[in-house]
Amino acid sequence: MKSAEQNRRLFRRVIWVLIFSIVVIAACARVPLTERKSLQLVPEQEVLALSFQQYNQVLRKSKLSQNRQKVEMVRRVGRRIARAAEEFLEEEGLGYEIENYQWEFNLIKDDKTVNAWCMPGGKVAVYTGILKYTKDEAGLAVVLGHEIAHAIAHHGNERMSQALLANMGGMALSVALSQRPAETRRLFMAAFGLAANVGFLLPYSRVQESEADHIGVVLMAKAGYDPRVALAFWDRMSKANKRRPPEFLCTHPAPRTRIRRLRVYIQEALRYYKRLGSCENTAQMGGKDEQ
């Protein structure tokens, strides 16, 4: 009798494991360009709703820059990278995702914060503290290409999916929000790099960071910026503070590893850059065609 009950329990466990495995397999998506499989359990519309809400909260708590020239530069470069990202998605057979992006670029006045990020749906913030390292539009294109790459690769969704599995047993986000709303929102903020005090944690894994480097230089090249600029930018960042790296570097690959990989990625990206013809000259002039 006891043996029969144990068998039934074992059978139920096997069934649940099979169902769970099927759900996880079905939730796997490919990262564009790298073709890596990533776990994305969270429905995109729910992610977008949380993203837009949190983005607005960040803007309300932050002081936006009033420097018209710098704000226009951020938006000009951002628009160019955004157009390149949409072209990239089309080429990767992911054009249906474009409708999810409502691009917005804001410059937050905070000279002590060396950071930038892009949330799902194309909501981007750049901090004035990073501009001393970007130097010019091409350097800024490195940063925006990298951050937008995180978004179109759905790295945040992957992080949140992993967190839901680890902390809530794979509970659906809609259920988690209704039953454990405070904890769910903390998971979202951690997954996308937002701390409760509007600080930034940069939780992406090194694999995801390398993917963002790879996709990012392709995006900037497609937008008409020389991807070779990325080497100089990351070199400046790595030398910025050897004792305590800026937030932007917290979980990134070691500088030597990054530079070695970037050289390979850049050779691929240059094919897109050379293909642009007249855009190459435009980028070298700092994008004056759009001023």
Residue matched to tokens 């708590």 = 61
More confident residue, 263 or 255: 263
- Three-state helix/strand/coil letters over 156-184: HHHHHHHHHHHHHCCCCHHHHHHHCHHHH
pLDDT for 224-243, tens place per residue? 999 999 999 999 988 876 65
Assigned domain for 115 exists: yes
**Residue 9 located in a structural domain:** no
37: Cα within 13 Å, side-chain hemisphere: 5
**Residue 128 in domain:** yes
Structural domain includes residue 61 = yes
Q: Which domain holds residue 198?
A: 37-290
Residue 170 counted as domain residue:
yes
Token pair belonging to 78: 């951002």
Q: How many domains does the chain have?
A: 1
In a domain, 255, yes or no: yes
Q: Is 90 annotated in the active site?
A: no
What is the predicted pLDDT for the residue at 198?
Answer: 36
| Range name among 32-36, 99-103, 278-282 with the lowest pLDDT average | 278-282
Domain presence at residue 19? no
* Structural contact between residues 145 and 78, judged by C-beta atoms closer than 8 angstroms: no
Q: What proportion of the chain, given as a percentage, has pLDDT over 90?
A: 50
Within-domain flag for 60: yes
Catalytic pick from 104, 137, 147, 158?
A: 147
Of residues 247 and 151, more confidently modeled: 151
